[in-house]
Structures are given as C-alpha cells and as structure tokens.
Amino acid sequence: MAKGKPKSYPHRATVPPIYQSAVFDFARVEDLAAQIESGPAFPPSVDDLTYIYARGGNPTQRKLELDLAALELTDDGLVFASGMAAITAVALTFGESGCEFAVGYPVYGDTYAVFADLLPRFGVSASFVDTSDIGEVRRAMKRSPRMLFCETPANPSLAVTDLKAVARLCKKHDCLLVVDNTFATPVNQNPVALGADLVIHSLTKFIGGHSDLVGGAVAGGKDLITRIRLTQFITGGILDPFAAWLVMRSLKTLELRVQRQNENALALAKLLEKHPKVARVYYPGLTSSPHRRIAKKQMRGFGGIVSFELKGGLRKAKRFVNRLKGARIAVSLGSTETLIQIPALITHRIVPKGVQESLGIPRDLVRVAVGIELTDELLANFKRALKEL
Ligand SMILES: Cc1ncc(COP(=O)(O)O)c(C=O)c1O
C-alpha cells in the first residue's frame, strides 16, 4: 500500500496513463545518437527521458515493473509477454552450452518442456529434483548446477519447497535460486525475502486475476534484472502497454481476491478430505498435509489451488469434472471464477505419459483453481457433484 500522500499523474489524473507508444522522439538527431551511444534505454524511473523504442522500455510497463518489484520486496522487476517468455528469458540469460540446471518437480507442463526438451538442443541439460526433499537438493548440488528452478507450491501437486533451506544450499554451491511464485502470489509468499535470487510470475494467473490477459514477470536484484533485460531487449518478449495497464488495475484488488481464494480453497480442501468418495487431497493448508509445517513457516496463506483424486480413477474424475456446476472446464488458474481440469490430460499433457506419475502428476488428479465466489456456493456445487457421482 502507498505510504504518504497518493501520487497523481499528468493532468492530475487519478489513474496512471497508458503510453501506447512504440517510439519516443528527440529534438535533435545528435540527442538520439547520444542516447543510443550510452546504451539501450534501461530506464531507472517512469519519468525518465531516455526511452527510445518500446522493445527496450515503455513508461507503462516500467511502472508495473516497479510495482511488482515492490510487492515482491525486491530492487527491480521486468515484465514479459507471458510467464513462459519470462522463464525462457531467465534460462537464456544464465545458461550456456555445457552447463546444467536443476529443476524442481513437478512444474507446469510447458516449463518442463523448456528445460527437458528445448534447452538440451543448445547444450544446456536439466536434472529433475524433488525440491520438497532437502536430501535430494543436497545430492543435486553435487552436480554443480548453475541454477535451481522450482515452483512452490508446485503445479499440480502443491508440494512445498523449504525455500530458506534450499537457498542456504544454493548460496553454498554458488547456484542461482529461481522460484516460480505464481501459485502462492506475493500476497502469500515472498521468495526473495526467504533467500531466492529471482522470483517469477505468470501474470496471467492470480495477479492478472480475471482471465483477460497474458503476461509474465521476473523480480530480483538490479544486477540480475539488468542482465535479463538485455536478453529481453534482444529477443523481444515484452508486455504490451495495455496489458501492463490492466495488470496495474488488477493489483488494486490482488490482496482481497487472494484472501478470498485462500479461504475458499481451504474450505474446499477440508470438505473433500472428509468425503467418502475422495481418495486423496493435496493442499498444504490441511493439517494432514506433509507440507503444512514448511508452508506455515514461509507462507501467509496457502493459496487458491486444490488438487484431489477420487476413488474410481480417471473415469470418475472425468465424470465429476463434467458434472460440476459453477466451475469452468478450462486451463489457467487464479481467476475470479473457479476453473477445473485434469492436468495429466491437459496442462501437463506435454510431460511424457511414462514419467508423469514419477514427476508428481497422477493420471487421475483433478486440479481446481477456486474463484472469489461465496464459499457456501462453491461448497454446495462440489457437494452436489460428489453426491451425483
Ligand atoms: C506455475 C506456472 N508458471 C508459469 C506458467 C506459464 O505462464 P503463461 O501461461 O503466462 O505463459 C504457468 C501456466 O499455467 C504456470 O502454471
């Protein structure tokens, strides 16, 4: 929240303007040449006069970058066209032929594909590690990975990684720790404050929050962000100014939305856990969860995603998803409306069937991303669908 007197914008506008400009002009060609000479415009402030060309920066994106950096308690930030553009830019910045990355599992399907399929084509290999097991992380460090990338809670198993413990190991072994904080959101968790070097978001999810934009972000120390900014400038995965403005608008309600989603998810997880037709529930907020102790230590809320398995396997899971009222059958998560899907068939379909199970993606797992609807309505819909099974 802003401290002190709220800032107004040009013309005393209450809301920041959208600079829908790809190009910024100069009074004299010498001034433009001098600006080019002094390096790409990586502007430190929104009011800076060094903007040249929007692939290298635009004041609207820049305001969002600084807002996100503040939310993640970091010095600087960078916004992208999607979460995947952010992840790829980080991997391209710190990878080089012959090096190895350690990657926590499970991770989002396309993230898996970047590390398992795309990067090895350029000589960057990946070893997959269960980062919720500190012993496995310790063993992984013996291979001297340049970077450890993980999600916590992880998609779709909601496994939790002890970030302080992993950060200590990474520091000792000179390994960059990059955490995808999409599931937790900065409302519930700040990985950099727990020792990570960089934090990543798919802005498409809770931060955007309304299923109406695609975006990504990275936040961290200025030096690292400046290196990633150069990759972004060359490769071009920038966020459009209008999408950046929409994200800024979404930030105003982020805390309210996430608090309701935390409450809804916990209530749903408790309901499912008690239900005789449910085989297993995955939610770090449940007292029965093996991840609760670490989650309580590092998170302020347990997040808006619940995964579960029904008795009766994949056939029952499909039938349940099709019958459930009040939820959309869709990919993505973090929206105002509840979204439901079966990861092994959809968001994690790209992970080979033979390894899905061993990477924490059971075939019949159902993933629910709760919305901000009234808790009683959400629970009533689930109770009805379970009864009808
Ligand atoms: C945890 C996580 N990270 C990254 C991404 C990729 O984000 P985007 O779809 O914005 O590229 C996703 C997408 O579902 C995700 O779930």
Tell me, yes or no, whether 147 lies in a domain: yes
Residue 43 has pLDDT above 70, yes or no: no
- 3-state SS assignment for residue 95: coil
- Ligand 1 atom closest to the Cα of residue 86 is 11
pLDDT tier at 340 (50, 70, 90 boundaries)? very high
| Cβ atoms within 10 Å, residue 148 | 28
Residues 111/82, Cβ–Cβ less than 8 Å: no
Mutation choice for ligand 1 from 79, 112, 155, CB with most ligand atoms inside 8 A: 155
**Mean pLDDT score, 47-74:** 92
- Ligand 1 atom closest to the Cα of residue 347 is 14
Q: Are residues 240 and 261 in the same domain?
A: no
Torsion of CA 384, 386, 387, 388, to 10 degrees: 90
**Of 57, 51, 98, 97, which Cα lies nearest the Cα of 76?**
57
- Ligand 1 atom closest to the Cα of residue 182 is 1
Q: Are residues 231 and 102 in the same domain?
A: yes
Tell me, yes or no, whether 360 lies in a domain: yes
Q: What is the pLDDT of residue 10?
A: 87
- What residue numbers bound the domain in which 32 lies? 11-251
Cα(88) to centroid of ligand 1, in Å? 12
* Tens digits of residue pLDDT in 271-320: 999 999 999 999 999 999 999 999 999 999 999 999 999 999 999 999 99
* Tens digits of residue pLDDT in 118-153: 999 999 999 999 999 999 999 999 999 999 999 999
Q: Are residues 220 and 144 in the same domain?
A: yes
Q: What is the pLDDT of residue 49?
A: 74
Tell me, yes or no, whether 5 lies in a domain: no
pLDDT tier at 157 (50, 70, 90 boundaries)? very high
Q: Are residues 289 and 229 in the same domain?
A: no
Q: Are residues 160 and 294 in the same domain?
A: no
Residue 103 has pLDDT above 80, yes or no: yes
Mutation choice for ligand 1 from 204, 211, 346, CB with most ligand atoms inside 8 A: 204
Tell me, yes or no, whether 43 lies in a domain: yes
Tell me, yes or no, whether 145 lies in a domain: yes
Q: Are residues 282 and 269 in the same domain?
A: yes
Closest C-alpha residue for ligand 1 atom 7: 83
Q: Are residues 245 and 258 in the same domain?
A: no
* Tens digits of residue pLDDT in 210-261: 999 999 999 999 999 999 999 999 999 999 999 999 999 999 999 999 999 9
How far is residue 295's CA from residue 49's CA, in Å, rounded to a whole number? 44
Residue 190 has pLDDT above 80, yes or no: yes
Name residues whose C-beta falls within 8 Å of residue 17's C-beta, 6 or more positions apart in sequence: 9, 10, 60
- Ligand 1 atom closest to the Cα of residue 331 is 14
Query: How far separated are the first and last CA of the chain, in Å rounded?
Result: 46
CATH code where residue 32 lies: 3.40.640.10
Number of domains in the chain: 2
Residue 63 has pLDDT above 80, yes or no: yes
Among residues 251, 281, 313, the one where a domain terminates is 251
How far is residue 117's CA from residue 110's CA, in Å, rounded to a whole number? 10
- Ligand 1 atom closest to the Cα of residue 154 is 1
**Mean pLDDT score, 171-182:** 98
Pocket-forming residues, ligand 1, beta carbon under 6 Å: 82-84, 108, 111, 151, 155, 180, 182-183, 202, 204, 214, 216
Residue 3 has pLDDT above 80, yes or no: no
Residue 1 has pLDDT above 60, yes or no: no
Cα(332) to centroid of ligand 1, in Å? 8
Tell me, yes or no, whether 64 lies in a domain: yes
Q: Are residues 240 and 272 in the same domain?
A: no
Cα(83) to centroid of ligand 1, in Å? 5
Closest C-alpha residue for ligand 1 atom 9: 83
Residues 261/269, Cβ–Cβ less than 8 Å: no
Cα(108) to centroid of ligand 1, in Å? 6
CATH code where residue 303 lies: 3.90.1150.10
Residue 340 structure tokens: 């439901």
Query: What is the pLDDT of the chain when averaged over all its residues?
Result: 96
**Mean pLDDT score, 25-36:** 93
Q: Are residues 46 and 72 in the same domain?
A: yes
Residues 68/52, Cβ–Cβ less than 8 Å: no
How far is residue 103's CA from residue 126's CA, in Å, rounded to a whole number? 7
Tell me, yes or no, whether 1 lies in a domain: no
Among residues 251, 271, 289, the one where a domain terminates is 251
Q: What is the pLDDT of residue 8?
A: 83
**Mean pLDDT score, 317-342:** 98
Tell me, yes or no, whether 6 lies in a domain: no
Task: Name the phi and psi angles at 17, rounded to 5.
Answer: -75, 165
Q: Are residues 96 and 174 in the same domain?
A: yes
* CB hemisphere CA count around 123 (13 angstroms): 6
- Ligand 1 atom closest to the Cα of residue 205 is 10
